[in-house]
């Protein structure tokens, strides 16, 4: 039985979920009339599929629109010269195989994660690293993310390939987003913004359907910096306090027309119709895997007792 | 001083290596040794030989890396026109004024001719049972390079593989050695060697409307739909296959080495820095309009002209190349896809040909599927996805070191 009253198109769902995911407070989420399920809730209904009525009357299976944010690496590299449907399909099959062994959870830049990797040089053969995700990228099996932490007053960043078989466990300790998609400015920020204790435990989320946005404004160290942050329109950084000529030069160098350039956006993204097809292909398996893990987790503590 | 095109440095190679196989200079060396020449005269002889040898377009083994070798710039590397022996392939006039009814009728005829045929069974094909021996040359396969995918081995090391999709290959005809030697191509190929047979294989069945009648007739005898790509594979007579035989990814074995032939990425008209690796000029320090240019193209005295083969800007890429000895890491029998370790000439989505390797140390020691792979008639397929033993299979548990 479907919980949702009104069936929506993928695009409507996209817009709604975008606003929903960016809700800064819990109260906003309560107001929306069409609650969108997250993978957890959907999984709890034993693999319910959301069906969208086609014009011809045939039911078409459509994945929940949040999948685009939760599993962005399933979308291929948009460069047209390198695209091939068969290869992408085979790659997705391999990705699902790997996901059946290890849980690769939903995370965003700004989330704090702990990764355990098999390491022959470690005393107990496993190395664990905790850090904040400052960037994520890649598509398919090449998907990666960078974790940053400050260890003994030394900033350390590690790039992990998500599908590498050496990774034993990926755990999200705190799931949240920041105001920027890339937190590379933490390299020039005061070290307290990048320090997270290794013994940190996973925090329980109060509201599962909304990923909170941390509106923190980070303080940067005095110049010199690694990049010209004033030219990058950063939201998560405190006022840079630079002389006016920096901002004037940033304005000269800026490309304000890019936000109107539709072809540029088209070339950088996969069209919505294709995204629908891709996620429709993988979502049932992903939901099944999620459900199995949830059942295992619930059974786990009870069986121990 | 920029590295100019015409400047040739002489480097003294080890003296012992000079005398090998230079028949025209044997007299010179013999007279020198008979007279018990001094080191100086021996060295001057070497210098004289090198000066004259440098004019030849053939690569000489003892030239070191500092020498500017003119050979590759003198060889004709590409042509864009099709061979004179080929028949016209693509339909030239596309705006034929056919009425809608006639067009529909034409399409019905095409459907009747090709689509309503049941696929040939292996038992219907008359395949001779021949023995494999190490000197056998099997057929190759036409494939499409569909991209690259990375996998990991059992130690956690990344392996980048090229994914090759074996298209719908069918044998068009077999030309026995006696006949093939009489053709112009065969005569060149087997000038002083024992002749071998030639297997014509086609891939990618397409709508016959796109091709000319002459081209479609190539396939008409065997009753196949016209193929977009044709290829010749030189084979020993014991590896011959009858027409209409399908060749699939199972033709190859996981762990074997293959040679992949393709046309390299077309870079278009390129300058001398990218095309030949020149250093160009300084970016600053007052260099006037000299940053990516070639510099001098010759001396004034020697021959007083620009020598043929002088390295200059021009068309780069789109050349025939073989990447040899690539190992097959994984075969997917269901989708007819081969994962080959390393890279392959050409861009993504371009056509390549795959052959058994001719590198002597990587050839077959045991019999491969000979003359080709045929799926068992009773439906019991081999595994769908065959992995090399060194690879980490994605569905297996994580690696713990």
Kindly state the percentage of chain B with pLDDT values over 70.
Answer: 80
Calculate the CA B272 to chain-centre distance: 25
Domain membership of residue A27 (yes or no) is: no
Chain B residues with CB under 8 Å of A161 CB are 158
What whole-number distance in Å separates Cα of residue A188 and Cα of residue B144?
47
Please give, rounded to a whole number of angstroms, the shortest distance from the CA of A289 to a CA of chain B. 13
Query: B350 in contact with A at a CB cutoff of 8 Å?
Result: no
Query: B152 in contact with A at a CB cutoff of 8 Å?
Result: yes
Query: Which pLDDT score, from 0 to 100, does residue A11 have?
Result: 56
Chain A residues with CB under 8 Å of B401 CB are 118-120, 125, 166
A150 and A183 housed in the same domain: yes
A282 and A233 housed in the same domain: no
Query: A87 in contact with B at a CB cutoff of 8 Å?
Result: yes
Interchain pair B149, A87: CB under 8 A? yes
Higher pLDDT pick, B208 / A42: B208
Query: B146 in contact with A at a CB cutoff of 8 Å?
Result: yes
A90 and A156 housed in the same domain: no
A122 and A246 housed in the same domain: yes
What range does the domain containing A147 cover? 104-203+211-251
A150 and A235 housed in the same domain: yes
Total tally of structural domains belonging to chain A: 2
Instruction: Give the DSSP H or E segment for B149.
Output: strand B141-152
Query: Which pLDDT score, from 0 to 100, does residue A301 have?
Result: 65
Interchain pair B146, A166: CB under 8 A? no
A109 and A247 housed in the same domain: yes
Beta-ladder partners of B199: B174, B233
Domain residues of chain B, as ranges? Answer: 135-267+314-387
Query: Which pLDDT score, from 0 to 100, does residue B370 have?
Result: 87
Question: From the CB of residue B247, how many other CB atoms can be counted at a distance below 10 Å?
Answer: 27
Nearest to B154 by CA among B326, B328, B329, B325: B329
User: What are the DSSP E strand ranges found in A54-143?
Assistant: 59-62, 112-118, 126-137
pLDDT single digits (tens) A67-108: 999 999 999 999 999 999 999 999 999 999 999 999 999 999
Is the pLDDT reported for residue A29 higher than 90? no
Please give, rounded to a whole number of angstroms, the shortest distance from the CA of A211 to a CA of chain B. 29
pLDDT single digits (tens) B52-76: 444 444 444 444 454 455 566 777 7
Query: Which pLDDT score, from 0 to 100, does residue B97 have?
Result: 85
Most distant CA pair in chain B, distance: 94
Most distant CA pair in chain A, distance: 67
Nearest to B5 by CA among B352, B287, B279, B239: B279
Mean pLDDT of B383-394: 94
Tokens matching residue A110:
């700004």
A164 and A130 housed in the same domain: yes
ipTM score of complex: 0.78
Burial of B271 (0-12, 13-18, 19+ CB in 10 A): middle
For domain B135-267+314-387, give the CATH number.
2.40.30.10
List A residues 91-110 in contact with B (Cβ-Cβ < 8 A): 91, 94-95, 97-98, 100-102
Indicate the pLDDT class of residue B94, thresholds 50, 70 and 90. Answer: confident
CATH code for the domain of A223: 2.30.30
Query: B48 in contact with A at a CB cutoff of 8 Å?
Result: no
**Minimum CA–CA partner of B397 in chain A:** A101
What whole-number distance in Å separates Cα of residue B129 and Cα of residue B232?
22
Chain A residues with CB under 8 Å of B146 CB are 84, 86-87
Indicate the pLDDT class of residue A275, thresholds 50, 70 and 90. Answer: very high
Query: A15 in contact with B at a CB cutoff of 8 Å?
Result: no
DSSP 8-class letter at A218: B
A262 and A170 housed in the same domain: no
- pTM exceeds cut of 0.90: no
Query: B392 in contact with A at a CB cutoff of 8 Å?
Result: yes
Query: Which pLDDT score, from 0 to 100, does residue A102 have?
Result: 95
Interchain pair B151, A141: CB under 8 A? yes
Question: Which of B145, B147, B344, B393 to mutate: most A Cβ within 10 Å?
Answer: B147
Please give, rounded to a whole number of angstroms, the shortest distance from the CA of A84 to a CA of chain B. 6
Q: Mean pLDDT across chain A, nearest whole number? A: 84
Least reliable range by pLDDT among B5-14, B266-275, B330-339, B368-377:
B5-14
Chain B residues with CB under 8 Å of A138 CB are none
Chain A residues with CB under 8 Å of B398 CB are 101-102, 118, 165-168
Beta-ladder partners of B387: B330
Mean pLDDT of A285-302: 87
List CB contacts of B114: < 8 A, sequence separation 6 or more: B208, B225
Query: A141 in contact with B at a CB cutoff of 8 Å?
Result: yes
A177 and A165 housed in the same domain: yes
Query: Which pLDDT score, from 0 to 100, does residue B15 have?
Result: 40
Q: Three-class SS of residue B24?
A: helix
A120 and A157 housed in the same domain: yes
Query: Which pLDDT score, from 0 to 100, does residue B88 have?
Result: 83
Query: B399 in contact with A at a CB cutoff of 8 Å?
Result: yes
Is the pLDDT reported for residue B226 higher than 80? yes
Please give, rounded to a whole number of angstroms, the shortest distance from the CA of B392 to a CA of chain A. 8
List CB contacts of B343: < 8 A, sequence separation 6 or more: B148, B160, B162, B323
Indicate the pLDDT class of residue B296, thresholds 50, 70 and 90. Answer: confident
**Minimum CA–CA partner of A169 in chain B:** B398
Query: Which pLDDT score, from 0 to 100, does residue A13 have?
Result: 57
Interchain pair B335, A86: CB under 8 A? yes
Please give, rounded to a whole number of angstroms, the shortest distance from the CA of B206 to a CA of chain A. 19
Please give, rounded to a whole number of angstroms, the shortest distance from the CA of B266 to a CA of chain A. 13
A92 and A216 housed in the same domain: no
A109 and A180 housed in the same domain: yes
Domain membership of residue A31 (yes or no) is: no
Tokens matching residue A39:
């993978």
**Minimum CA–CA partner of A140 in chain B:** B149
Indicate the pLDDT class of residue A61, thresholds 50, 70 and 90. Answer: confident
């Amino acid at each position: 039985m479907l919980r949702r009253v009104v069936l929506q198109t993928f695009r409507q769902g996209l817009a709604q979920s975008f606003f929903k995911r960016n809700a800064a407070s819990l109260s906003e989420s309560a107001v929306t009339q069409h609650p969108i399920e997250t993978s957890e809730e959907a999984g709890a209904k034993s693999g319910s599929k959301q069906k969208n009525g086609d014009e011809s009357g045939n039911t078409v299976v459509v994945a929940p629109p949040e999948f685009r944010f939760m599993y962005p690496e399933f979308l291929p590299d948009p460069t047209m010269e390198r695209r091939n449907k068969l290869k992408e399909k085979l790659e997705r099959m391999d990705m699902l195989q790997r996901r059946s062994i290890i849980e690769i959870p939903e995370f965003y830049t700004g989330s704090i994660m702990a990764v355990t990797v098999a390491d022959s040089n470690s005393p107990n053969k496993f190395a664990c690293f905790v850090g904040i995700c400052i960037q994520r990228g890649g598509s398919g099996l090449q998907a990666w993310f960078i974790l940053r932490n400050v260890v003994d007053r030394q900033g350390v960043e590690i790039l992990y390939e998500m599908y590498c078989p050496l990774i034993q466990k990926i755990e999200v300790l705190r799931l949240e987003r920041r105001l920027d998609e890339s937190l590379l400015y933490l390299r020039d920020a005061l070290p307290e913004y990048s320090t997270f204790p290794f013994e940190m435990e996973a925090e329980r989320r109060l509201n599962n359907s909304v990923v909170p946005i941390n509106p923190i404004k980070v303080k940067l160290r005095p110049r010199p910096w690694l990049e010209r942050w004033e030219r990058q329109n950063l939201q998560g950084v405190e006022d840079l306090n630079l002389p006016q000529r920096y901002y004037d030069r940033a304005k000269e160098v800026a490309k304000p027309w890019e936000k109107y350039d539709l072809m540029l956006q088209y070339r950088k993204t996969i069209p919505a119709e294709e995204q629908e097809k891709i996620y429709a292909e993988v979502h049932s398996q992903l939901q099944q895997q999620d459900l199995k893990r949830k059942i295992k987790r619930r059974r786990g503590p009870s069986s121990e007792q | 001083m920029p590295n100019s095109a015409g400047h040739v440095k002489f480097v003294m190679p080890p003296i012992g290596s000079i005398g090998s196989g230079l028949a025209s200079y044997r007299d010179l060396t013999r007279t020198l040794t008979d007279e018990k020449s001094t080191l100086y005269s021996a060295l001057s002889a070497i210098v004289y030989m090198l000066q004259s040898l440098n004019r030849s377009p053939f690569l000489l083994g003892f030239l070191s890396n500092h020498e500017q070798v003119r050979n590759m710039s003198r060889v004709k590397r590409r042509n864009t026109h099709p061979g004179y022996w080929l028949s016209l392939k693509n339909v030239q006039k596309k705006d034929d004024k056919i009425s809608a009814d006639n067009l529909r009728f034409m399409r019905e005829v095409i459907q009747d001719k090709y689509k309503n045929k049941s696929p040939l069974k292996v038992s219907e094909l008359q395949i001779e049972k021949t023995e494999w021996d190490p000197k056998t040359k099997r057929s190759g396969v036409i494939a499409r390079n569909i991209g690259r995918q990375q996998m990991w081995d059992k130690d956690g090391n990344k392996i980048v593989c090229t994914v090759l999709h074996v298209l719908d290959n069918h044998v068009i005809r077999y030309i026995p050695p006696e006949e093939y030697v009489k053709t112009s191509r065969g005569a060149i190929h087997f000038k002083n060697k024992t002749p071998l047979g030639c297997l014509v294989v086609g891939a990618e069945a397409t709508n016959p409307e796109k091709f000319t009648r002459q081209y479609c007739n190539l396939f008409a005898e065997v009753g196949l739909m016209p193929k977009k790509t044709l290829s010749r594979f030189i084979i020993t007579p014991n590896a011959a296959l009858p027409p209409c035989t399908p060749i699939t990814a199972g033709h190859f074995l996981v762990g074997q080495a293959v040679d992949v032939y393709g046309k390299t990425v077309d870079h278009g008209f390129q300058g001398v820095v990218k095309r030949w690796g020149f250093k160009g000029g300084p970016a600053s320090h007052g260099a006037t309009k000299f940053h990516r240019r070639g510099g001098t193209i010759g001396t004034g005295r020697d021959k007083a002209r620009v020598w043929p083969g002088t390295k200059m800007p021009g068309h780069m890429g789109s050349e025939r190349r073989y990447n040899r000895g690539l190992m097959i890491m994984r075969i997917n029998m269901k989708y007819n896809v081969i994962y080959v370790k390393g890279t392959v000439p050409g861009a993504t989505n371009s056509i390549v040909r795959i052959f058994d390797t001719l590198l002597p140390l990587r050839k077959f020691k045991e019999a491969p599927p000979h003359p080709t792979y045929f799926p068992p008639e009773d439906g019991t397929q081999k595994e769908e996805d065959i992995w090399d033993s060194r690879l980490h299979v994605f569905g297996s548990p994580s690696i713990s070191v």
